[in-house]
Amino acid sequence: MAYNLKQELNKPERFLGGHRLCAGCGCGITVRAVLRALKEEDRAVIANATGCLEVSSFMYPYTAWQDSYIHTAFENAAATCSGVEAAYNALKRRGKIDDTYKFITFGGDGGTYDIGLQSLSGAMERGHDMVYVCYDNEAYMNTGIQRSSSTPRFSDSTTTPVGAVQQGKSQNKKNLTEIMVAHGIPYVAQTTFLGNLRDLHEKSRKAIYTPGAAFLNVLSPCPRGWRYPAEDIAAVVKAAVDCCVWPMFEVDHGVYHLTYEPRRKLPVEKYLRLQGRFAHCFKSGNEWMIEQTQQWVDAQWEALLEKCE
């Protein structure tokens, strides 16, 4: 089915307004876009790890979710969702349920790259028919902008501050998307809400309706943690993609496909300069930080291009 932006935006919302997410928060955009990929006649069960999304969208007795929703602990969102999926299949086999349900887990990078990695790995290895969506805002934003293993090198956070001892985080970002590919699951994709949301929609649809386990990694900027004006979110995600900091690709049954290639690959400083968390990189004497970031991005990009060929 050809993607139609107007048609998709006219669907009934499954994630409603009135939640407490910050203005311009990327994870709210991510959730709405992913849930629009569901067919209107299908129901969903949503599992959600503790984090910005959970504390902002489900404060009993209030909820922004129209589908069945389960708040889980930080570490077990994928395990909870896989258990519900297994129970659904058992009921289906016994003829006790006829409706079609899809199973989707949302977690931030703290609950996905770090604390929830073991349950995520287990669910993917077992091959449950579910989708895990990481809204990656590159730090523990909900509890005060502490670094995670998703936080980029040189990023200024409350636990990797810029000062006399260190200049932001000293390690590169973990490549979780490739870790998920290594599980041999049917579908893995990396995306963001660039342009008209088509890429995110199509990958979400594939993830939801491809039988078996699937993983989506969605770059979801945080204005507060990344320190940029909320209205600049589109410019930030565009720069991330055009500088090849966040490549857009999918791995469908083991085959790599690049889904967006910039006409002209931009230098990484175009992306870094938009965010206050990298402001120290542009001070005199710190040029080496930008150079090393560029080298790392280039190496990651070239390695991905080889896989896509």
pLDDT tens digits, 100-152: 999 999 999 999 999 999 999 999 999 999 999 999 999 999 999 999 999 99
For residue 172, the model assigns a pLDDT of: 98
Residue 268 scores a pLDDT above 90: yes
Residue 2 scores a pLDDT above 90: no
Mean pLDDT for the chain?
96
Structure confidence by residue, pLDDT tens digits, 32-60: 999 999 999 999 999 999 999 999 999 88
Residue 195 scores a pLDDT above 90: no
Which pLDDT band holds residue 29 (cuts at 50, 70, 90)? very high
For residue 1, the model assigns a pLDDT of: 67
How far is 280 from 288, CA to CA, in rounded Å?
11
Structure confidence by residue, pLDDT tens digits, 3-26: 888 999 899 999 998 899 998 899
What ranges do the domains of the chain cover? Answer: 5-308
Structure confidence by residue, pLDDT tens digits, 151-171: 999 999 999 999 999 999 999
Find the mean pLDDT for residues 224-231: 97
Residue 243 scores a pLDDT above 90: yes
Find the mean pLDDT for residues 72-76: 95
pTM (two decimals): 0.97
Long-range contacts, 195-199 (Cβ 8 Å, 24+) = 195/238, 196/5, 197/5, 197/8, 197/33, 198/3, 198/5, 199/248, 199/259, 199/260
For residue 196, the model assigns a pLDDT of: 77
Domain 5-308 carries which CATH code? 3.40.50.970
For residue 194, the model assigns a pLDDT of: 85
